[in-house]
Amino acid sequence: MGVNHIKVKFIVTLLTVTLILIPLCFIADAEEQADAEENLWVVGDIPEIKIDEDTIINLSFEDHTGINYTSLTNYYKGHPYLSFFIGYIYMPAFFGPRIGMETFQEFYCLHSIEFHAYIEGNVTGWHAIVEPSLITGSTAGHKANLTLKVRVDGPTVHPMANVVIKVVRKGKGGAVLGVSYHKISLKAEHIYLLDLKPLKSVVETLPGSTLSIPVEITNRGNYIETYRISVDGDGVASLFGSQLLTINPGETIKTNIQIYTPFSPFDLGTARKVEIKAYPLSSPENVFTAGISVVTRGAPLQFIPVLILLIILLVLLVKLMVEI
């Protein structure tokens, strides 16, 4: 019995000293922004953020400040009267019947925790929110499961972003007791999208000639990509083979694709379908195409002297036959 009595006196004395010293800590740090004294972490792997729909990231929160008032009033499970005395008689008597008790609750227990999510830096197209955004009546040891919802509007030109979660601890009266920041690095899902736009849909040229086709290429995806550009068609070949272009998200590049039409001594007019193809080196299965029509007509320039000579010979031959 004597040992239990000494134990109770020791605990009450220790509690009294602790409660006296804690306010001094708050006064000493009043001029500085205190930390919210909590822990917030991601549960599981961080997924890629989907386009135009919410991506869920699970979070876990744990409070590490104040006094667990609920546990304090139930500390001695075998001595309910002692727990009641500490929580509902000793505390109010020590701090004052009403104002003192409110002060005690203000700094040591029954805190509200607010969660504010925002995107770091000047990054457009990203949105984030924490649910629930408010926890009330939090004390030391309190745990909660939260959800971070992140959305990307369309294939943004910013494929990566940092989400910052601002945690604000407030006392029962609404005073800010501490602020913490947690940063989570995210990246959007990889979108491959290319806009191939030939500036001419139909081109007429001589057979066996070199032709330059102007093309406007826009990267509609959300990552910087290197694309291989090639040409495929009816007897038409690229003069210099394929070419490589590195394009930023949202960037438009104008380039000329050189092709060579098949040789023919004389062509009355042949329409040839030509396909311009492009695919990213990181994902060759994503092929983008655009078509144009190349019409070959007439005689190739290098064959004109021969053609003239043949005509002259033909005229001479006809004249000779007439004279005979």
Domain boundaries, the chain: 36-68+109-187, 194-300
pLDDT at residue 312 in the model = 81
- The answer to whether 166 and 40 have CB atoms below 8 angstroms apart is no
- How many residues does this entry show for the chain? 324
**What does the longest C-alpha to C-alpha distance in the chain come to?**
152
Which CATH code of 2.40.37.10, 2.60.40.10, 1.10.10.10, 2.40.50.100 fits the domain covering 194-300? 2.60.40.10
Among residues 108, 106, 110, 126, which one has the least CA distance to residue 118? 126
Q: Which residues of the chain have pLDDT under 70?
A: 1-33, 66-109, 155, 239, 301-304, 306-307, 324
b/e map 246-260, b = 16+ CB within 10 Å: ebebeeeeeeebebb
How is domain 36-68+109-187 classified at the CATH fold level? Answer: Immunoglobulin-like (2.60.40)
Q: Identity (one letter) of the amino acid at 74? A: N
In the DSSP assignment, the letter for residue 190 is P
Q: What's the token pair of residue 173?
A: 């009266």
pLDDT at residue 141 in the model = 83
pLDDT at residue 25 in the model = 41
pTM of the predicted protein model:
0.63
Q: Identity (one letter) of the amino acid at 295? A: V
Judge whether 36-68+109-187 and 194-300 match in fold: yes
User: Tell me: the pLDDT tens digits for 13-53?
Assistant: 555 545 444 443 443 344 455 788 899 999 999 999 998 89
pLDDT at residue 175 in the model = 83
pLDDT at residue 9 in the model = 54
Quote the CA–CA distance of 218 and 192 in Å, as a whole number.
11
